[in-house]
Amino acid sequence: MFVDAPHGISGRRPATHATNWFFTELLGGGQGAADTVAAWLPVVASVALGLLIYKLAVLLTRDVRVGVASVLVFAVTPVNAVYTSLGFLDHNLHQYFWLGVTLCRWAGLQSIFSDGSQAATVDRYGMVFERTFEHPRRGSSPSASAFRSPPVRTPGAVRRYF
């Protein structure tokens, strides 16, 4: 059971163990609830990560087909199939999920300050390449122009994606 964890385990991956314990208690506690969490949490986390991958791909490319293709590639990836299979409870599913949440939020925050056009979003993500190779500033080296701060957007250009 999750209650009788070995000594010192709480110092390693505490979020993983706390989440597993929370869902076990939510299902009533006991060995049956722990078995259910161990069996189904990887599957549920994999589906949730698939939704995040879809959202991230559509947010970055603005193309639903790329989102569907990204989820299909994710679904047949051997590492994903091992770590999220039925009954394989490991810390990786938590790490992948929170990494997906972080990337989606980061991409969403980058898109909020665009004026709504795809070029502005590409400008925010490809800022170094655009300034260095397409629009170099007069009298500046490529490395100097690559590290300049992005232009400040006005509050009127704010657009909500989440």
User: How far apart, in whole angstroms, are the C-alpha atoms of residue 32 and residue 49?
Assistant: 26
Q: Are residues 83 and 130 in the same domain?
A: no
Domain count, the chain: 2
Smallest Cα–Cα separation from 107: which of 153, 147, 69, 58? 58
pLDDT digits 0-9 by tens, 31-80 = 899 888 888 887 888 888 899 999 999 888 888 999 999 999 988 887 65
Helix and strand numbers (H, E) in the chain are: 8, 0
- Domain termination residue (choose one: 50, 72, 99): 99
Give 128-156 pLDDT, tens digit per residue.
333 333 344 444 444 444 444 445 444 44
For residue 32, how many other CB atoms are within 10 A of its CB? 11
pTM over 0.75: no
Q: Which two tokens stand for residue 155?
A: 């509050």
Looking at the fold, whether 30 and 88 belong to one and the same domain comes out as: yes
